[in-house]
């Protein structure tokens, strides 16, 4: 079942780019969080999106927010992607689609491509914005707009 605005984000764990288990309870419910799901590391639109989050990362941290990227790529792929583009935020590996299913992230283009969806979550762990759009860069703008309203 897809997550909706107003829902509380359930607890989850996943491996980060270093192969370390990330526990959502270290962030969710403690500070505003932006979780963005993207199709694939090192592809044109996904790279543009990740680099836009990187370039605006200070704006997010100034608002007290954490940014987390999620795709089905391996931890090794995430590590290379993160190092290549100097990404300062956490990337989680969702190769079993557990997180996509938990959040209800749809697939795009007739089910061929994993969806690109951004969730803005407040400091209580409540989803405040769900933005589903294949364009990468606009996600950053929408997430910052919502964060400015809720912090």
First to last CA, the chain: 28
Pick from 83, 99, 88: nearest CA to 15: 99
Tokens of 137: 């860069």
Start-end of H helices in 1-151: 44-55, 57-62, 75-85, 98-103, 138-150
Report the run of H or E that residue 79 belongs to, with start and end.
helix 75-85
Catalytic residue among 28, 34, 46, 99: 46
Please tell me the distance from the alpha carbon of residue 58 to that of residue 76, in angstroms, as a whole number.
26
Asked if 23 and 13 count as a contact pair (C-beta separation under 8 A), the reply is yes
51 is known as an active-site residue: no
Q: Which residues contact 21 (CB under 8 A, 6 or more apart)?
A: 13, 14, 15
Which residues are catalytic, by number? 46
């Amino acid at each position: 079942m897809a997550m909706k605005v107003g829902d509380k984000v359930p607890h989850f764990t996943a491996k980060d780019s270093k192969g370390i288990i990330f526990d959502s309870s270290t962030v969710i419910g403690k500070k505003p969080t932006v979780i963005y799901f993207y199709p694939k590391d090192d592809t044109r639109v996904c790279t543009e999106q990740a680099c836009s989050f990187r370039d605006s990362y200070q704006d997010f941290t100034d608002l007290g927010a954490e940014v987390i990227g999620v795709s089905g790529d391996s931890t090794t792929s995430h590590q290379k992607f993160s190092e290549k583009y100097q990404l300062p935020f956490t990337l989680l590996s969702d190769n079993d689609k557990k997180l996509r299913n938990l959040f209800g992230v749809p697939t795009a283009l007739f089910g061929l491509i994993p969806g690109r969806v951004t969730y803005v979550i407040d400091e209580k762990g409540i989803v405040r914005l769900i933005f589903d759009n294949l364009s990468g860069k606009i996600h950053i703008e929408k997430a910052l707009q919502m964060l400015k309203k809720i912090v």
